[in-house]
C-alpha cells in the first residue's frame, strides 16, 4: 500500500533554539474528516486556503497550512519516485494522482488513507482513528463495482490496506504495544432511520476474519432494529479471539450526545476514539480521556471522614455524593491547570486541515478552531464502589456485625486478623448478579457524577462529559486505594471500565448484563464498555454463535451503551505466560484495544487471566 517507514529510528525535531525535541504536536484521539480530504484532494484544499489568505490579508494559520500541504505533497512525490524506481507501477500511477487530486478508484482511496494515517502519525498526532471507514470510502468502493471490478479484487485491496496499517506500530504512541488507536466504526443509522450498514461494512468484517490482525479494531454500531443475522456474523469475528467487534448502541448513544449539545446530524455521525470514548466525526477536538473519577477513592475518603458520624446509611450515602461533587470540582480545576501549563496549546496546522471549523474560522485546533472542544472524564471502579457501599449498608447499618470504627480498623489493617469479617463482606451482594440491592447504589453514584459534571463549561469553550471508562486506571487508580468494604485488599485492581469486580462470583452472562443496563446510560455517555470474557468453547458450533449473538441483542434491547466481548481460554493464557514462544499470535482485548498477549506487561496479563470466563 506504500508509505511505510524507511528509517529505523524516528528523526528528532529541533526547537527554535536548535535543541533536539522528541515530540511535536500531541493533539489526537479524534476522528479527522477523511471524507473532506478524499473528496477534494490537496490541491483543491491548497487553492482554497490561498484564497482565504488573500481575503484576510495576513494569517499565520493559513500560511502554516499552505506550508504543510506543500510539504505533504512533496513527501508523496518522493514516494512516487521511489515506486517508479522499484518498478511498482500500480503505486506509481496512484501517486501521480493522489494526494493532489481526488482518488479515481478504491485502490487510490486506500493509498490516500494510508498516506493520511501515516503522515498524521509522523506529525505526532497520536491515536488517530479511522472512524466511519465504510461511509466515507463507500463512494469509491461503489464506483469500482459499477465500473466492473469484482468484490474479490476489492476485498484483496481492502486486506492490503488492513495489513499496511499494522506496520510501524512502534511510532504509534500508546500505553502498550498494540494501543495504536486505529479503531474503525461500521454501520449505524441515519437521522431518517436508514440503516447505513453496507456491503463494504460486511467486507471489513470479512477482511478482519481472514487476516486476524490487531488493527484495525472493529466497532459495530447497532440498535434494537439491527438484524440478528448481522450480530451472528459479527460474533464469528469475536470467535477469532481478537477482542472485537465492540458494540455501540445507537438507541442510547445518539440521544445521549444530543443531550450534551451536539447537533443531531453530528450525533448521528458519531464514531469512537482510540478505545471506546464517543466522538463525533470530522469536526471535534474533544479530549475524551482527560482525567478519571476514582469512585472507590471517593468512597474511601467519605468512609474516613464521615462514616462514624452518620446515624443512617442514607446520611452516609449523601456524604458520598457530596464527595463525588467535590471530586468533580477538583478534576475540573485540574483541567484548568493542565491548560495553563500549555498541555493543549501545541499547534498542529496539518491536523487542523482535517478538523471541521478550523479552516473556516482561521484557527488551529489548539486555538479552539474545531466546532466542538469538550472534555471527557472517565469513571473508574464503579462496581467496586457500589459493592463497597452495599457492604457498608449491610454490615454497619442493617446486620450490625461491626461498628463503623471496627470496619475502618479492618480496612486500615488490610484485613489482617479480620478474616471472618472479610468473609462476611465478600458474601454480600455484588454488582453483576442482577441484585437491585447493589445495582441501585451504582445508579445513585453514577447519577450524582453525571448530573453534576455533564454540561459544566470548560476553558476551551466546550463542556465536560461523564463516562464509565477506566482505561489503564483499573490498575493505576486502584493502586492508590487501600482495602475496601467489599473485601478487596489494598491495591488490588478494579474491573475493566464498566464491569464487575474481578473477584466477583457471577451467576451468568444474562444476570451480568441486567446489572449493567439498569442506569439510564444516555446520561453518562463519554464511553466505557461492559467487558465480558466468554470461554472459547462456547463458539465451537453454530448454536453457540447464536447464543452469543442473542446475548448481544439482549444487551442492546435492555439499553446498554457499549459492549466488548473477549473469547478466551484461561488455561491457554496461563500456558502463554509460561511458554510465550508457543503462542506468538495470541491476541486479547486489554481495555479498549487488542494486543498480542506476549507483548503485554505481566500486570495486564494477570488481570485478563483473573476475569470471569462465562459459559453461555
Long-range contacts of 408-415 (CB under 8 A, 24+ apart): 408/303, 408/304, 408/307, 408/308, 410/483, 411/303, 411/482, 411/483, 411/484, 411/485, 412/482, 412/483, 413/483, 414/482, 414/483, 414/489, 414/490, 415/483, 415/487, 415/489
Residue 37 predicted with pLDDT over 60: yes
| Residues 268-274, mean pLDDT to the nearest whole number | 94
Residue 480 predicted with pLDDT over 60: yes
Question: pLDDT-based confidence at 8, cuts 50/70/90?
Answer: low
The confidence score (pLDDT) of residue 614 equals: 62
The confidence score (pLDDT) of residue 229 equals: 97
Asked if 560 and 530 count as a contact pair (C-beta separation under 8 A), the reply is yes
Tell me the pLDDT tens digit for each residue of 383-398.
999 999 999 999 999 9
C-alpha cell at 152: 474479490
| Residues 591-611, mean pLDDT to the nearest whole number | 86
Residue 160 predicted with pLDDT over 60: yes
The confidence score (pLDDT) of residue 9 equals: 65
Residue 219 predicted with pLDDT over 80: yes
Question: pLDDT-based confidence at 615, cuts 50/70/90?
Answer: low
**3 state DSSP class of 156:** helix
C-alpha cell at 523: 446520561
The confidence score (pLDDT) of residue 590 equals: 83
Measuring CA to CA, which residue among 428, 388, 377 is closest to residue 296?
Answer: 388
For residue 333, count other CB atoms closer than 10 A to its CB.
Answer: 9
| Residues 126-148, mean pLDDT to the nearest whole number | 96
Tell me the pLDDT tens digit for each residue of 305-342.
999 999 999 999 999 999 999 999 999 999 988 777 66
Long-range contacts of 305-311 (CB under 8 A, 24+ apart): 307/392, 307/396, 307/404, 307/407, 307/408, 308/403, 308/404, 308/405, 308/408, 310/404
If one compares 385 and 599, the residue with the highest pLDDT of the two is: 385
Asked if 231 and 553 count as a contact pair (C-beta separation under 8 A), the reply is yes
Instruction: Supply the mean pLDDT for the chain.
Output: 92
Tell me the pLDDT tens digit for each residue of 335-371.
988 777 666 778 999 999 999 999 999 999 999 999 9
Residue 441 predicted with pLDDT over 70: yes
pTM: predicted TM-score of the whole model, two decimal places: 0.93
Q: How many helices (H) and strands (E) does the chain have?
A: 25, 15
For residue 563, count other CB atoms closer than 10 A to its CB.
Answer: 25
The confidence score (pLDDT) of residue 588 equals: 85
Residue 24 predicted with pLDDT over 90: no
| Residues 68-97, mean pLDDT to the nearest whole number | 95
Tell me the pLDDT tens digit for each residue of 174-217.
656 667 778 999 999 999 999 999 999 999 999 999 999 989 99
The confidence score (pLDDT) of residue 18 equals: 61
The confidence score (pLDDT) of residue 26 equals: 66
Q: Which of 108-117, 118-127, 243-252, 528-537 has the lowest mean pLDDT?
A: 118-127
Question: pLDDT-based confidence at 585, cuts 50/70/90?
Answer: confident
Measuring CA to CA, which residue among 110, 216, 253, 167 is closest to residue 556?
Answer: 253
Measuring CA to CA, which residue among 326, 327, 448, 332 is closest to residue 386?
Answer: 448
- Peptide bond before 240: cis, by omega within 30 degrees of 0? no
C-alpha cell at 365: 485546533
Counting residues of the chain whose pLDDT is more than 70, the rounded percentage is 93
* DSSP annotation of 506: -
| Residues 40-44, mean pLDDT to the nearest whole number | 98
Question: pLDDT-based confidence at 414, cuts 50/70/90?
Answer: very high
Measuring CA to CA, which residue among 331, 336, 358, 338 is closest to residue 347?
Answer: 358
Question: pLDDT-based confidence at 124, cuts 50/70/90?
Answer: confident
If one compares 260 and 242, the residue with the highest pLDDT of the two is: 260
* DSSP annotation of 51: H
Amino acid at each position: 500500500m506504500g508509505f511505510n517507514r524507511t528509517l529505523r529510528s524516528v528523526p528528532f525535531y529541533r526547537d527554535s533554539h536548535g535543541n533536539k525535541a522528541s515530540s511535536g504536536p500531541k493533539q489526537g484521539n479524534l476522528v479527522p474528516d477523511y471524507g473532506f480530504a478524499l473528496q477534494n484532494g490537496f490541491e483543491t484544499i491548497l487553492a482554497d486556503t490561498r484564497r482565504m489568505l488573500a481575503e484576510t490579508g495576513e494569517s499565520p494559520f493559513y500560511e502554516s497550512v499552505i506550508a504543510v500541504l506543500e510539504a505533504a505533497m512533496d513527501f508523496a512525490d518522493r514516494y512516487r519516485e521511489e515506486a517508479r524506481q522499484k518498478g511498482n507501477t500500480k503505486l506509481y500511477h496512484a501517486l501521480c494522482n493522489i494526494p493532489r487530486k481526488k482518488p479515481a478508484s478504491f485502490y487510490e482511496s486506500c493509498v490516500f488513507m494510508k498516506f493520511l494515517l501515516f503522515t498524521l502519525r509522523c506529525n505526532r498526532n497520536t491515536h488517530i482513528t479511522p472512524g466511519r471507514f465504510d461511509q466515507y470510502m463507500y463512494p469509491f468502493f461503489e464506483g469500482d463495482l459499477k465500473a466492473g471490478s469484482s468484490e474479490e479484487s476489492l476485498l484483496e485491496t481492502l486486506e492490503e490496506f488492513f495489513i499496511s496499517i499494522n506496520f510501524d506500530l512502534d511510532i504509534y504512541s500508546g500505553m502498550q504495544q498494540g494501543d495504536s488507536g486505529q479503531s474503525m466504526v461500521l454501520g449505524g443509522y441515519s437521522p431518517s432511520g436508514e440503516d447505513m450498514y453496507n456491503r463494504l461494512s460486511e467486507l471489513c468484517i470479512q477482511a478482519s476474519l481472514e487476516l486476524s490482525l490487531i488493527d484495525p479494531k472493529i466497532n459495530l454500531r447497532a440498535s434494537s432494529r439491527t438484524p440478528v443475522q448481522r450480530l451472528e456474523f459479527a460474533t464469528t469475528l469475536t470467535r477469532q479471539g481478537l477482542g472485537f467487534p465492540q458494540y455501540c448502541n445507537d438507541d442510547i448513544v445518539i440521544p445521549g450526545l444530543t443531550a450534551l449539545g451536539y447537533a443531531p446530524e453530528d450525533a448521528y455521525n458519531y464514531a469512537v476514539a482510540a478505545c471506546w470514548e464517543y466522538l463525533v466525526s470530522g469536526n471535534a477536538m474533544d479530549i475524551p480521556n482527560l482525567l478519571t473519577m476514582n469512585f472507590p477513592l471517593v468512597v474511601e475518603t467519605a468512609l474516613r471522614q464521615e462514616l462514624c458520624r452518620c446515624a443512617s446509611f442514607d446520611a452516609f450515602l449523601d456524604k458520598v455524593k457530596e464527595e463525588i461533587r467535590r471530586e468533580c470540582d477538583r478534576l475540573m480545576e485540574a483541567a484548568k491547570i493542565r491548560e495553563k501549563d500549555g498541555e493543549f496549546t501545541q499547534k498542529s496546522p496539518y491536523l487542523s486541515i482535517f478538523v471541521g471549523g478550523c479552516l473556516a474560522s482561521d484557527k488551529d485546533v489548539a486555538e479552539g478552531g474545531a466546532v466542538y472542544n469538550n472534555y471527557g472524564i472517565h469513571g473508574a471502579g464503579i462496581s467496586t464502589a457500589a459493592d463497597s457501599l452495599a457492604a457498608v449498608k449491610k454490615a454497619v447499618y442493617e446486620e450490625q456485625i461491626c461498628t463503623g470504627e471496627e470496619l475502618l480498623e479492618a480496612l486500615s489493617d488490610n484485613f489482617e486478623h479480620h478474616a471472618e469479617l472479610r468473609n462476611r463482606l465478600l458474601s454480600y451482594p455484588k454488582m453483576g448478579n442482577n441484585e437491585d440491592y447493589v445495582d441501585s447504589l451504582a445508579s445513585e453514584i453514577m447519577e450524582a457524577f453525571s448530573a453534576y459534571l455533564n454540561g459544566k463549561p470548560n476553558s476551551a469553550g466546550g463542556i465536560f462529559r461523564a463516562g464509565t471508562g477506566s482505561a489503564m486506571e483499573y490498575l493505576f487508580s486502584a493502586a492508590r486505594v487501600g482495602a475496601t468494604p467489599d473485601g478487596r485488599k489494598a491495591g488490588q485492581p478494579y474491573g475493566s471500565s464498566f464491569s464487575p469486580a474481578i473477584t466477583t462470583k457471577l451467576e451468568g452472562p444474562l444476570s451480568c448484563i441486567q446489572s449493567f443496563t439498569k442506569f439510564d446510560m444516555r446520561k453518562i455517555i463519554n464511553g466505557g464498555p461492559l467487558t465480558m470474557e466468554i470461554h472459547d468453547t462456547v463458539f465451537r458450533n453454530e448454536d453457540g454463535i447464536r447464543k452469543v449473538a442473542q446475548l448481544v441483542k439482549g444487551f442492546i434491547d435492555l439499553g446498554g451503551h457499549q459492549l466488548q466481548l473477549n473469547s478466551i481460554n484461561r488455561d491457554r493464557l496461563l500456558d502463554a505466560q509460561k511458554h510465550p514462544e508457543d503462542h506468538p499470535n495470541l491476541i486479547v482485548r486489554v481495555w479498549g484495544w487488542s494486543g498480542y498477549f506476549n507483548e503485554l506487561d505481566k500486570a495486564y496479563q494477570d488481570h485478563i487471566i483473573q476475569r470471569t470466563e462465562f459459559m453461555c
